[in-house]
């Protein structure tokens, strides 16, 4: 298990520092020393799995349209605003495959309006089968979501998968209960509004906690103080360098 206390993970490859969710972002954050990563996966019209947070490509690219309504061929013609190609899941998996000791969160972007149950199950099976056979040595892979439906399906179809519920709420009695009732052992929640008492209660209940959002070094320090296990960072290189310089005892 490639897990370390207070591990930094590069949110969308480090979206404040690099071209979000592109291969160049993951290459750069890895080269800078990051070993924790988070990304988002959608399924395009003809079934290819695509790395993109938004349904619409307009914020990130020079094109227009929505991932779920475009074909793989159409998406491969699109470039991000800095000029990078859209990243497909198989390309990211190939990049990680020969790198041991990673922590990777794959967020399942399965909003119900775009992913009715049959499509959801197709997506989940493709996601699992595209990733799991290629996981590198000593690497922890998580399948995560705000949407409980893919988490429930993974529990039935792939009971050995590591799952995490994401919530926009703090760590508290309600979110701890929600994760436990769902039957997952990982919870991602906001550190704003969380307390050390609640984090301690979550740990005592057997949960592993990831905190977000991480925009500044101060956010990382708050996460450490609260006791979160994994800490999201949009500025992961800045946080990593700060940690090496000022918090050597965390290494």
Q: Which residues of the chain have pLDDT under 70?
A: 1-3, 251
Give me the sign of the Cα torsion angle 56, 140, 160, 163: negative
Q: Collapsing DSSP states into helix, strand and coil, what is residue 73?
A: helix
Cα 212 from Cα 233, distance rounded (Å): 8
Distance, in Å, from the CA atom of 6 to the CA atom of 39, rounded to the nearest integer, reads: 19
Quickly list DSSP for 151-220.
HHHHHHH-TTSEEEEEEEEESSHHHHHHHHHHT-SEEEEESTT--HHHHHHHHHTT-EEEEE---SHHHH
Mapping DSSP to helix (H, G, I), strand (E, B) and coil, where does residue 22 land? coil
Q: What are phi and psi of 241, to 5 degrees?
A: -65, -40
Query: Which residues lie closer than 8 Å to 186 by C-beta, 6 or more apart?
Result: 142, 144, 162, 163, 164, 165, 179, 207, 208, 209, 210
pLDDT of residue 6: 80
4-38 pLDDT per residue, tens: 778 899 999 999 999 999 999 999 999 999 999 99
Residue 179 phi, psi dihedral angles, 5° rounding: -65, -45
Domains parsed from the chain with CATH numbers:
7-56+86-250 (3.20.20.190)
Length of the chain: 251
Give the SS3 label for residue 30.
Answer: helix
At residue 56, the pLDDT reads 98
For the stretch 96-130, pLDDT in tens is: 999 999 999 999 999 999 999 999 999 999 999 99
């Amino acid at each position: 298990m490639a897990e370390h206390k207070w591990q930094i993970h590069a949110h969308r490859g480090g979206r404040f520092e690099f071209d979000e969710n592109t291969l160049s972002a993951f290459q750069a954050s890895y080269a800078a020393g990051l070993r924790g990563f988070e990304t988002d996966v959608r399924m395009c019209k003809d079934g290819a799995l695509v790395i993109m947070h938004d349904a619409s490509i307009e914020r990130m690219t020079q094109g227009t349209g929505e991932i779920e309504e475009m074909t793989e061929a159409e998406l491969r013609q699109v470039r991000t605003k800095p000029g990078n190609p859209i990243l497909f899941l198989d390309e990211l998996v190939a990049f990680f495959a020969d790198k041991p000791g990673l922590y990777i969160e794959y967020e399942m972007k399965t909003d119900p309006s775009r992913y009715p149950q049959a499509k959801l199950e197709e997506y989940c099976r493709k996601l699992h089968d595209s990733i799991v056979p290629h996981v590198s040595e000593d690497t922890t892979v998580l399948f995560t979501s705000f949407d409980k439906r893919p988490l429930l399906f993974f529990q039935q179809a792939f009971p050995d998968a590591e799952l995490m519920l994401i919530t926009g709420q703090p760590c508290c009695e309600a979110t701890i209960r929600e994760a436990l009732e769902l039957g997952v052992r990982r919870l991602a929640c906001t550190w704003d509004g969380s307390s050390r008492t609640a984090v301690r209660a979550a740990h005592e209940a057997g949960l592993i906690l990831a905190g977000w959002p991480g925009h500044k070094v101060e956010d990382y320090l708050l996460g450490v103080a609260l006791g979160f296990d994994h800490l999201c960072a949009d500025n992961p290189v800045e946080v990593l360098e700060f940690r090496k310089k000022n918090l050597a005892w965390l290494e």
